[in-house]
Structure 1
Amino acid sequence: MKIITLTTDFGTSEYTGAVKGVIQSINPEARIVDITHNIQPYNIMQAAYVLYSTLKYFPKGSIHVAVVDPGVGTERKALILETEDYYLVGPDNGIFSLFEYNHAWEIEFKEASPTFHGRDVFAPAAARLSLDMNPEELGREVKNIEKIDIFRIETEARKIKGEVLHIDVFGNIITNIKKEIFSRLGIKTGDRLRIKTLNKSFEVKFLSAYGYAEKGELILLVGSSGLIELSENLGRASEVLNISPGDILEIEAQ
């Protein structure tokens, strides 16, 4: 029984149900796993991060469908990528930027709604892959795909300017700053750092775990995906600071 995962910006809407219905109609035995349908609408970078932090935990042979597709209906390609461990199915808009792949195919189709390729293109392709159809039967091989530099930051002396990739269910603010950047700049656990957002400037400690902070204290730490997070212990930093994915964050070592 093949696993097909779904990552979309559809929310709890009828669009999610339609995608699942198409998959189950083609392969009733497919096991569908929802990674999330709560990607911020049209936020390709957030979707790329969620895929990067999640797909490695699924078994080999899984098929991963990602639909965050502001360019739906245009000339952007519809893709199947084959990696060492699984297939990726979705639009050619940078959503798969963080994955190495062996082969890529552009899905060929005759009829599809210009506003809903998730239902009419990606869901059928994933379902047919789960029935062991070869990707060559679904499209033509292509050499290059769109890439986004998800981890692009600016550094100056001991100052880092990055971007918010994701807000998790606890309100933690996950940035695109890798932990290695802190190591390179000599930032150590216990250091105090100045944070600047669009509307605020404040100091926080860099700690190793939430529990070392007082209740309600804002801190920086390395999250489970190896990226720097801004968090409030036993609270929701994103609401306290009014921060959303795509916002710019500046961190300066004191």
Structure 2
Amino acid sequence: MKKTLVLQSDFGLVDGAISAMEGVAFGVDETLRIRNLTHDITPYNIFEASYRLFQTVEYWSEGTVFVSVVDPGVGSSRKSVVALTNAGHYIVTPDNGTLTHIKKYMGIKAIREISEVSNRRANTEASYTFHGRDVYAFTGARLAAGIITFEDVGPELSVERIVELPVTATEVTSDSVKGSIDILDVRFGSLWTSIEREEFLSINPAYGERLEVTIYNNDMLVYQNQVIYGKSFADVRIGSPIIYINSVYRVGIAINQGSFSKAYNIGVGAQWSVEIKKA
């Protein structure tokens, strides 16, 4: 049975790159179902690509094939791979850290290096800058269409030796938790932290309680205030900040009907630390 092909990249939609990838996939099998995760990953941001896969993959059926192309090292010695998750999804991507969150939070059962001898579009060997079209979309489509099996992708690699990006470990005390701002809920400007729900609940917060939130950019204090912990944004007045548990069970910080990130010029990454403490 044919599987769905889901595409992700940092290419955007202002030119023909995604259409070319879709065309390659339909050229393999015009009956394939092709969907898009996002093509608005911040250019070259591998961590963001890894996080968006983590945010999304588990909600698709077993056997779904994902093609994720955020590949600043395209044409270099980095490997092209297909990972099989513990839940039975396939992810076609460069081995450059894009599989970090999938490995940590979902688990990878096996991984194979794409053999470009058999799994590359014909007559593209002289092109070194669009593997998303010539290798990843082509291989992903063949896998989704059932033309090749996982074993046909290429030689098996060690799951333990894939490239992984640093993920911030939460610091927990009796009355505080500290992590980083991993990513934004982009459209609404909410901060999604690395602090997991269970870690946050270890300090026994109560709905409606005010907690002290402190945010640093490296050593520079950017924000410090008492913020209400609520179930949803409507628990505070419009324009007021709130601490909540987001859709991937991490601590989020938002402004009701506003953008926290824009209001306080807050970015993402390991240099952005956030501490939540009993007031």
Q: TM-score, normalised by structure 2?
A: 0.84
**Aligned-partner residue type, residue 13 of structure 2:** T
CA distance in 2, matches of 1:152, 1:37: 29
From 164, 167, 171, the equivalent of 2:184 is 167
- Alignment partner, residue 33 of structure 2: 31
**Aligned-partner residue type, residue 175 of structure 1:** T
What displacement does 1:160 show?
Answer: 3.4
- Alignment partner, residue 9 of structure 1: 10
How big is each residue's C-alpha offset from its partner over 1:157-195, in whole Å with a ceiling of 9 and x where there is no partner? 544332222222222211111111111233332232222
What displacement does 1:237 show?
Answer: 1.6
From 210, 220, 244, the equivalent of 1:192 is 210
The farther-off stretch of 57-66 and 132-141 is: 132-141
What displacement does 1:202 show?
Answer: 2.2
From 139, 149, 153, the equivalent of 2:154 is 139
What displacement does 1:23 show?
Answer: 1.2
Q: Are 1:242 and 2:265 an aligned pair? A: yes
Q: How does 1:4-83 map to 2 (within 5 A)?
A: 4-14=5-15, 15-83=17-85
Instruction: Quickly say closer, same or farther: Cα 1:109–1:9, change in 2 above 3 A.
Output: same
**Aligned-partner residue type, residue 259 of structure 2:** R
List structure 1 segments (4+ residues) > 4 angstroms apart after TM superposition: none
Structure 1: any 5+ residue segments left out of the alignment? none
How big is each residue's C-alpha offset from its partner over 1:94-147, in whole Å with a ceiling of 9 and x where there is no partner? 212223122210002152633222112111110110221113323111113222
From 88, 105, 109, the equivalent of 1:102 is 109
Instruction: Quickly say closer, same or farther: Cα 1:26–1:208, change in 2 above 3 A.
Output: same
CA distance in 2, matches of 1:220, 1:11: 31
Task: Name the SS of the counterpart of 2:108 in structure 1.
Answer: coil
From 240, 245, 248, the equivalent of 1:222 is 245
Q: TM-score, normalised by structure 1?
A: 0.91
CA distance in 2, matches of 1:208, 1:252: 16
Aligned length: 254
- Alignment partner, residue 124 of structure 1: 138
CA distance in 2, matches of 1:112, 1:245: 37
* 2:83/2:112 contact within 8 Å kept: yes
Task: Name the SS of the counterpart of 2:155 in structure 1.
Answer: strand
How big is each residue's C-alpha offset from its partner over 1:42-100, in whole Å with a ceiling of 9 and x where there is no partner? 22222222111211111222101111222222222111112232211101122122231
CA distance in 1, matches of 2:226, 2:214: 9
**Aligned-partner residue type, residue 9 of structure 1:** D
CA distance in 1, matches of 2:197, 2:179: 12
The farther-off stretch of 215-224 and 240-249 is: 240-249
**Aligned-partner residue type, residue 99 of structure 2:** F
* 2:50/2:98 contact within 8 Å kept: yes
Structure 2: any 5+ residue segments left out of the alignment? 118-124
How big is each residue's C-alpha offset from its partner over 1:27-52, in whole Å with a ceiling of 9 and x where there is no partner? 21111111111111222222222111
* 1:10/1:16 contact within 8 Å kept: yes
Identity percentage over the alignment?
33
CA distance in 2, matches of 1:228, 1:142: 35
- Alignment partner, residue 205 of structure 1: 228
Provide the aligned C-alpha RMSD in A. 2.0
Instruction: Quickly say closer, same or farther: Cα 1:245–1:115, change in 2 above 3 A.
Output: farther
